[in-house]
Chain A
Amino acid sequence: MLELKDVHTYYGNIHALKGVSLTVNQGEIVTLIGSNGAGKSTTLRTIQGINRPRSGTILLEGVALEKLPPHEIAGRGVAQSPEGRLIFPRMTVLENLEMGAYARKNKTGFDDDLARVFSLFPRLKERITQKGGTLSGGEQQMLAMGRALMARPRILLLDEPSMGLSPLLVELIFEIIQNINKEGMTILLVEQNALMALSIANRGYVLQTGEIILSDAAAKLKENEMVRKSYLGIE
């Protein structure tokens, strides 16, 4: 469904992605793990068009995305819950969710989608008139995910959904990710919490300083000695 072929991205002179290739198939959860600064978020930002690849191709269902402006990429069904959540702090929870549906040309079913987001994240419904900036970290993460779901995306990009959350909330968020996936959503998940990510993903890629150094079924990566040592902290 989503395919990256030899994608190179630069920040000024810094070569952030050095030929990343990966595939996400319909209905899968694919995870991209790696340490800080490996280029995980850059990969998602490049798919979304926020950062431009200098070379390489990005295909969504066969259509090249790498030359399109970000708003058209969003319009083609790529939605993201970004690193740091990036919710709109001075808009209400409801307005934030409305903005999620911005790229959709037809707004029929908006109420149904809203109801679905509220059933996934009941906490958001309680906070509906509150300003985004007044939410707790966990609630902001829920809002960022809910906002992305409001776009009815074909593929959902999740960037560090566990960041800064308590272990209990991380469990909850990952359970929700699994539920969304079971309903048919294709997910590309970027995580530093490699153990959690690999336990819910179908397949995984290991990114190290801008290069994919390993890719395999998630279960096998979990057993891989290098992965265990470097990313799972298990000797």
Chain B
Amino acid sequence: METTKKKNFNLRSLGVLVLVLYIVFLIGPIAGLDVPTIAASIKANPLQLIQFLIIGISNGAIIAIIALGYTMVYGIIELINFAHGDVYMIGVFTSLTVLSLTGTLNSTNPVQIVLGLAFALIIAIVVCASLNATIERLAYRRLRNAPRLAPLISAIGMSFIIENIGLMWAAQAWLVPSFGTTGGASQKVFPDMLSALFKATGFNGGDVNLLVASGLPLRLTVKDILVIVLAVALMTGLYLFVQRTQLGKAMRATAQNRDAAKMLGIDIDLVITATFLIGGGLAGAAGLMAGLYNNTAWWFMGFRAGLQAFTAAVLGGIGNITGAMLGGFLIGLLASFSDGYLNARWTNAWVFATLVLILLFRPTGLLGEQVGQKA
């Protein structure tokens, strides 16, 4: 018994080793892994490393916030909510539309810009929370006791529906004039409101880059700060909610054992609705953050963001909230360094190769735990 176990382990390690060597030496160079060049470029411009770190953390923060929605829903009902990335896309469009309708986009009054942004954040959270809860009510609730594939298919269906709503939304120039008359398929501009805000105030010489005065070839912008601060605030809030409040505890109890939770008087429907509301709200906030950070709005943007966030959730250990945060930051950093030093076209491949490698060693993810019920 003992020897076969050992033998199996050795065989597996050997397999993994072969895979790693294969990726590094055969696929690696094609996908941009050129060690001497990378070393030379780090040597020539070491500050760039910090630059990619900043970009990675900011993008990672957005991915982490989206990943929380995947992981919370999976933790409670063991469903991958494929529509979640698209809810985030609706968050981008909602905040852009609110900014447009309130006149914030053309404003040069700093107070109005700040109020407009705050209002857009609230509306995006409310809209996405309700949308996500509605999706659950329409597409998942009736299928809760159906075979696992059924809600998965309806999730994919919801994803298509919302993407098409985004496609139509992006054609409505009366809502946001900059959408233009070319239809909804193209990528739209999400105006750089933070630059506008800084120009309006004249603060920091009207530049969003806080390091501009230092003369260093580095950009640490107000956008980075805003995204990171907002993400950390949301994560802290979520953590406290789940650990301390009665409803948060009910959510954890439901995730750990649904039957026991029912027996103790927890209203499962209420808990599930709350989970979708919170996940959707976070996606809405991420929508505004990403719009301000990347300055694009596109009907299909939820697909890639969703895929990355889902990967982050799996990497951290699906069902685990801290894991999703960790996974988000890791993927953000990995993608940023791959974009910078390897080859941007191969970034997704690098991200997934890393995911596969980590799952080979830790099948439940970095902070993975056994989710689901045995009874």
B257 contacts partner chain A, Cβ-Cβ < 8 Å: yes
Contact present for A80 and B256 (CB under 8 Å): no
A79 contacts partner chain B, Cβ-Cβ < 8 Å: yes
B89 CB to closest chain A CB (Å) equals: 33
Within 8 A of A (CB), among B217-261: 246, 249-250, 252-253, 256-257, 259-261
Most buried by B among A87, A88, A151: A88
Q: Which B residues are CB-close (under 8 A) to A102?
A: 246, 250, 253, 264-266
> Interface segment, A53-61, A89-97, A177-185, A211-219?
A89-97
How many Å lie between the Cα of A75 and that of B259 in the bound state? Answer: 15
A49 touching B262 in the complex, CB below 8 Å, given contacts A88-B252, A91-B253 = yes
How many Å lie between the Cα of A83 and that of B375 in the bound state? Answer: 9
Q: Which A residues are CB-close (under 8 A) to B266?
A: 71, 99, 102-103
Q: Which B residues are CB-close (under 8 A) to A84?
A: 374-375
Q: Which B residues are CB-close (under 8 A) to A226?
A: none
Contact present for A100 and B256 (CB under 8 Å): no
| CB nearest neighbor in B for A74 | B265
A/B pair count, beta carbons within 8 Å:
73
Q: Could you say which of A82, A90, A95, A100 contacts B259, with CB atoms under 8 Å apart?
A: A82
Contact present for A147 and B264 (CB under 8 Å): yes
Q: Which B residues are CB-close (under 8 A) to A75?
A: 265
Contact present for B262 and A91 (CB under 8 Å): no
A90 touching B252 in the complex, CB below 8 Å, given contacts A82-B259, A84-B375, A102-B246 = yes
Q: Which A residues are CB-close (under 8 A) to B257?
A: 86-89
Q: Which B residues are CB-close (under 8 A) to A100?
A: 264
B252 CB to closest chain A CB (Å) equals: 6
Contact present for A50 and B264 (CB under 8 Å): no
Q: Which A residues are CB-close (under 8 A) to B265?
A: 70-72, 74-75, 102-103, 151
A225 contacts partner chain B, Cβ-Cβ < 8 Å: no
Q: Which A residues are CB-close (under 8 A) to B259?
A: 50, 82, 86
Contact present for A69 and B256 (CB under 8 Å): no
| CB nearest neighbor in A for B250 | A102
Q: Which A residues are CB-close (under 8 A) to B246?
A: 102
Q: Which B residues are CB-close (under 8 A) to A69?
A: 267
A48 contacts partner chain B, Cβ-Cβ < 8 Å: yes
Contact present for A50 and B249 (CB under 8 Å): no
How many Å lie between the Cα of A72 and that of B265 in the bound state? Answer: 6
- Size range of the interface on B? 20 to 34
B263 contacts partner chain A, Cβ-Cβ < 8 Å: yes
A98 contacts partner chain B, Cβ-Cβ < 8 Å: yes
A48 touching B263 in the complex, CB below 8 Å, given contacts A88-B252, A88-B253, A95-B249 = yes
B344 contacts partner chain A, Cβ-Cβ < 8 Å: no
Contact present for A151 and B256 (CB under 8 Å): no
Contact present for A151 and B264 (CB under 8 Å): yes
Q: Could you say which of B249, B256, B262, B267 contacts A89, with CB atoms under 8 Å apart?
A: B256
| CB nearest neighbor in B for A83 | B375
Q: Which B residues are CB-close (under 8 A) to A49?
A: 262
Within 8 A of B (CB), among A150-206: 151
B268 contacts partner chain A, Cβ-Cβ < 8 Å: yes
Within 8 A of A (CB), among B344-375: 369, 374-375
Most buried by A among B250, B252, B260: B260
Contact present for B253 and A70 (CB under 8 Å): no
Contact present for A88 and B260 (CB under 8 Å): yes
Q: Which B residues are CB-close (under 8 A) to A90?
A: 252, 256, 369
Q: Could you say which of B263, B268, B369 contacts A79, with CB atoms under 8 Å apart?
A: B263
How many Å lie between the Cα of A75 and that of B263 in the bound state? Answer: 10
A80 touching B267 in the complex, CB below 8 Å, given contacts A88-B256, A90-B369 = no
Q: Which A residues are CB-close (under 8 A) to B374?
A: 84
B124 CB to closest chain A CB (Å) equals: 32
Bitwise, B257-294 to A at CB < 8 A (1) or not (0) is: 10111111111100000000000000000000000000
Q: Which B residues are CB-close (under 8 A) to A147?
A: 264
Contact present for A99 and B263 (CB under 8 Å): no
B141 CB to closest chain A CB (Å) equals: 13
| CB nearest neighbor in B for A48 | B263
| CB nearest neighbor in A for B243 | A95
Within 8 A of B (CB), among A92-143: 95, 98-100, 102-103
Q: Which B residues are CB-close (under 8 A) to A79?
A: 263-264
A61 CB to closest chain B CB (Å) equals: 17
Q: List 26 A-B contacts (CB under 8 A).
A: A48-B263, A49-B262, A70-B268, A71-B262, A71-B266, A71-B268, A74-B262, A75-B265, A79-B263, A82-B263, A84-B374, A86-B257, A86-B259, A88-B252, A88-B257, A89-B256, A89-B257, A90-B256, A91-B253, A99-B266, A102-B250, A102-B253, A102-B264, A102-B266, A103-B266, A151-B265
Q: A79-B264, A88-B253 are in contact. List 15 more A-B contacts (CB 8 A).
A: A49-B262, A69-B267, A70-B268, A71-B262, A71-B266, A74-B265, A82-B260, A82-B263, A84-B375, A86-B375, A90-B252, A90-B369, A98-B249, A103-B265, A103-B266
Would you list the 4 A-B pairs with minimal beta carbon distance, nearest first?
Answer: A103-B265, A74-B265, A86-B260, A70-B262
B interface residues, Cβ below 8 angstroms from A = 246, 249-250, 252-253, 256-257, 259-268, 369, 374-375
